Structure 1
Amino acid sequence: MSPTKADFKAVLSQARDLVKVELDKTEQVIMQVAKNAPAGISDRLVTLFSRKGKRIRSTLLCLLANCGAQKPDIDRVAHACAAVELLHLASLVHDDIIDGTDVRRGQKTAHREWGTQVAVLIGDYVLSQSMRCVIDEQARNIPVIISDAADKLIIGEIMELDHCGDMSLSRKSYNEIIDGKTAALIDAAARIGGILAGFDQPMVDECAKMGTHFGIAFQIIDDLLDYGYGSVNMDKAKFTDLSNGLITLPLLYYFEDCTAEERREMEGFIAKASAEGIPEKIQDRLFAKKSFAKAKAEAQEHLEQALAIADKFPKSNFTEEITAMFASMSDRGN
């Protein structure tokens, strides 16, 4: 049974407050990367790093790291969090180029500000620095976890591009795409949090599994928000997935429950999804088939599984915040 729902933004803010010391140290590590960079890169990194995201991955890592019997080493936690956040940021810089996105976190995207060529290289530099953040980590599996997450993330993105405009995309392929491009890094953050908490290997594996369920739910909600379903004050444009030919979960549910004629009509709409008024027509048909509600129910199932794993952790205010984050995720508006 899920705990009482609360506003995700408020819950996340409260969770960040609980691990403020660790997150503040993380920001110092990240900004040091910018300050240590050569001229011409440093100022751009300062601009990029100043546009803070939600810090969901690092917040989850910090919360988990504090769930063990001993207080974790703040320096190790901060460097692990910095690695996760920089890897995430590098992927966003490259994603924005691929998607042709103009705005991210309320600001011009890197390629719009500095040009595509510079943005690609800035993304590469940030990716390299994410690995460097954990190069001296005493738990030698942590750098490997970060590297593996980077591999999975890139593979997921390539797979998504390979299936761009693929009207016959299978559920299996969709699941592999979102497991790679989104869930893998949250899985890594949770796994590292469990290691830094001092959990035994079976419990660390449970942390990772929990992160995967949370990550899949997160991406499904993102799929819904792209259609404007449940969105509030979005900091990026709606219908980006559609205009880029991405077939996401609401459409997969629609195709499972439509006639051959309806499928032909929908495929025609998707082929010209950038045309004025077409996204709204697609949206109307997805509402009529309850495709959005079905996708949201699937996200909720994954959150329930994440909550069941979280219930195994030692009870503390840190585990309470993890539970609150999972319980409120399905109703986030941006």
Structure 2
Amino acid sequence: MRRSGELSTVVTNNVVPIHRKSEPSLQPILDLVAGGMNQVNAVILDRMQSRIPLIPELAGHLIAGGGKRLRPMLTLACAKLLEYSGDRHYKLAAAVEFIHTATLLHDDVVDGSGMRRGKRTANIIWGNPASVLVGDFLFSRSFELMVEDGSLRVLKILANASAVIAEGEVNQLTAQRQIDTSEAKYLEIIGAKTAALFSAACRISAVVAERDEKVEDALDSYGRYLGIAFQLVDDAIDYVSDEQTMGKDTGDDFRDGKITLPVILAYARGDDQARAFWKDAMEGRRVSDDDLLHAKQLLQQTDAIADTLAKARFYGQQAIDTLGAFPNGQAKAALIEAVEFAVARAF
């Protein structure tokens, strides 16, 4: 079977390549921002409260459900990279997490998901209407925090990211079960629904640190490339990981007819019989456990998973390269290893 060409990466001076001997970890970024995350978590706990008991109960189910809080950690780590010594970024990092949590609540309703982070989803426990409305509440809280910051620039960045995320989700919905979806459209979708919040979370650190647009753009690019790599890995491991590792139902993307890069590659490289299978599967006519097993075999035969992960490594290296202009130090090293961790999750 045809393999995609080697994905070249450019390693600039002052940047560590994406490959390392030891297993990458989030521990460096966790250590870097531990004190700041205590501040962020205090804001989250305070602002998720309501006189309506169901709101903090449902929100807390997801917020306290074991998520890594990677996006707000990126806000704090980028602020450290820029040696920002103020405290504006704590509330803004909490706003970023509220946006992320709200989108998860809405996504689980749209997808009919039953598990997230190894637990039953809020929509299964409390129902779809409550999940949607609490998601709306968290969106509102995020905008309160932005307004309190007082920067129209920050408000524009995060408000735009929220709109782009919604556009990406709608775009993905229109592409669902459409087997002729192109790789370009897929990358457009994940660039919106996933990478937009990563890039905004990083960019706002440059705003509060009062750096110029060149620094803003560099951190924006770092977050965007990281977000794309992160989603590529997620889409690959939906077919190769188990439920315990993933923290969600296995094969969800397959049964939901989500057109992800592994499917796009396998369909393009398959013979007539394989292409007919993928068309039937994505249109909801082949969704049994045996069908999922066959899908995994086709993905293996066509190198679709391997090449999806190769593309994730490529975007991960792009993220690392954007940090080349920043001075070496604990913050830069932690941001680099966060990328390596995001890519290494599949191995």
Shared fold per TM-score greater than 0.5: yes
In the alignment, residue 264 of structure 1 is paired with which amino acid?
Answer: A
- 1:285 alignment partner, one of 295, 298, 311: 298
Q: Report the Cα offset of residue 89 of structure 1.
A: 0.4
1:221–1:184 CA distance, 2 compared to 1 (3 A): same
Residue in 2 aligned with 1:236?
A: 248
Residue in 1 aligned with 2:30?
A: 16
Q: Report the Cα offset of residue 333 of structure 1.
A: 4.5
Which is worse superposed, 42-51 or 215-224?
A: 42-51
Residue in 2 aligned with 1:318?
A: 331
Residue in 2 aligned with 1:220?
A: 232
Number of aligned pairs? Answer: 330
**Secondary structure of the corresponding residue to residue 41 of structure 1:** helix
Residue in 1 aligned with 2:12?
A: none
Q: Report the Cα offset of residue 119 of structure 1.
A: 1.1
1:3/1:327 contact within 8 Å kept: yes
1:252–1:48 CA distance, 2 compared to 1 (3 A): closer
In the alignment, residue 72 of structure 2 is paired with which amino acid?
Answer: S
**Secondary structure of the corresponding residue to residue 134 of structure 1:** helix
Q: Distance in 2 between matches of 1:5 and 1:91?
A: 36
Residue in 1 aligned with 2:65?
A: 51
1:173–1:108 CA distance, 2 compared to 1 (3 A): same
1:274–1:265 CA distance, 2 compared to 1 (3 A): closer
Residue in 2 aligned with 1:144?
A: 156
Residue in 2 aligned with 1:193?
A: 205
1:225/1:231 contact within 8 Å kept: no
In the alignment, residue 301 of structure 1 is paired with which amino acid?
Answer: F
**Secondary structure of the corresponding residue to residue 165 of structure 1:** coil
1:3/1:323 contact within 8 Å kept: no
Which is worse superposed, 256-265 or 112-121?
A: 256-265
TM-score scaled to structure 2, two decimals? 0.90
Residue in 2 aligned with 1:208?
A: 220
- 1:80 alignment partner, one of 59, 68, 92: 92
Q: Distance in 2 between matches of 1:45 and 1:231?
A: 23
Q: Render the CA deviation track for 1:147-179: whole Å, top value 9, x for unaligned.
A: 111101111001111111001101221111101
The equivalences for 1:1-334 within 5 A come to: 1-4=17-20, 6-8=22-24, 11-68=25-82, 70-74=83-87, 76-229=88-241, 233-270=245-282, 271-333=284-346
1:6–1:196 CA distance, 2 compared to 1 (3 A): farther
1:214–1:231 CA distance, 2 compared to 1 (3 A): farther
Q: Report the Cα offset of residue 263 of structure 1.
A: 1.1
1:210/1:306 contact within 8 Å kept: yes
Q: Distance in 1 between matches of 2:133 and 2:275?
A: 41
Q: Distance in 2 between matches of 1:298 and 1:312?
A: 24
1:155/1:181 contact within 8 Å kept: yes
**Secondary structure of the corresponding residue to residue 277 of structure 1:** helix
Identify the structure with bigger relative contact order (alpha carbons < 8 Å, sequence gap 6+).
Answer: 2
Q: Render the CA deviation track for 1:185-210: whole Å, top value 9, x for unaligned.
A: 00101111222343321111111011
Q: Distance in 2 between matches of 1:303 and 1:39?
A: 42
**Secondary structure of the corresponding residue to residue 135 of structure 1:** helix
1:224/1:230 contact within 8 Å kept: no
1:231/1:333 contact within 8 Å kept: no
1:156/1:181 contact within 8 Å kept: yes
1:66/1:197 contact within 8 Å kept: no
* Identical positions, percent: 28
Q: Distance in 1 between matches of 2:329 and 2:129?
A: 47
Q: Report the Cα offset of residue 146 of structure 1.
A: 1.1
TM-score scaled to structure 1, two decimals? 0.93
Task: List gaps (5 residues or longer) in structure 1.
Answer: none
**Secondary structure of the corresponding residue to residue 48 of structure 2:** helix
